[in-house]
Structure 1
Amino acid sequence: MSNEFFLLAPTAFQAFKVGESNPKKAKRIVYGQATSDANGIATLYFTVNGLANGNPLLTTIDYAVSSVYSTNSSINARPRVQMREKNVAAKYVSANVTNISGVTVLGISVLGSENPVSGILVDFMILGSFDS
Structure 2
Amino acid sequence: MSVEFVLMAPTALQVFKAGESNPKKVKRIVYGQATSDANGIATLYFTENGLSNGIPLLTTIDYAVSSVYSTNPSINARPRVQMREKNVAAKFVSANVTNNSSIVVLGINVLGSENPVSGILVDFMILGSFDR
1:5 and 1:88 map into 2 onto residues whose CA distance is 25
- Please report how far the alpha carbon of residue 26 of structure 1 lies from its aligned counterpart in structure 2 after TM superposition: 0.2
Deviations 1:8-50 (A, max 9, x none): 5xx1100003575522100000000000000000000000000
1:20 and 1:105 map into 2 onto residues whose CA distance is 64
1:70 aligns with 70
Q: Which stretches in structure 2 are left out of the alignment for 5+ residues? A: none
Task: Compute the TM-score of the two structures, normalised by the length of structure 1.
Answer: 0.92
2:128 aligned partner, one-letter code: G
1:128 and 2:132 aligned: no
- Percent identity between the two aligned chains: 82
- Please report how far the alpha carbon of residue 92 of structure 1 lies from its aligned counterpart in structure 2 after TM superposition: 0.1
2:9 aligns with 7
For residues 24-39 of structure 1, the aligned pairs below 5 Å read 24-39=24-39
1:51 aligns with 51
2:40 aligns with 40
For residues 102-121 of structure 1, the aligned pairs below 5 Å read 102-104=102-104, 109-121=109-121
Deviations 1:91-128 (A, max 9, x none): 00000000000123576533200000000000000000
* RMSD between aligned residues: 1.6
Task: Compute the TM-score of the two structures, normalised by the length of structure 2.
Answer: 0.92
Q: 1:110 to 1:129 in 2, by over 3 A?
A: same
Q: The residue matched to 2:17 in structure 1 has which SS?
A: coil
2:23 aligns with 23
The count of aligned residue pairs is: 130
Q: The residue matched to 2:51 in structure 1 has which SS?
A: coil
Q: 1:118 to 1:96 in 2, by over 3 A?
A: same
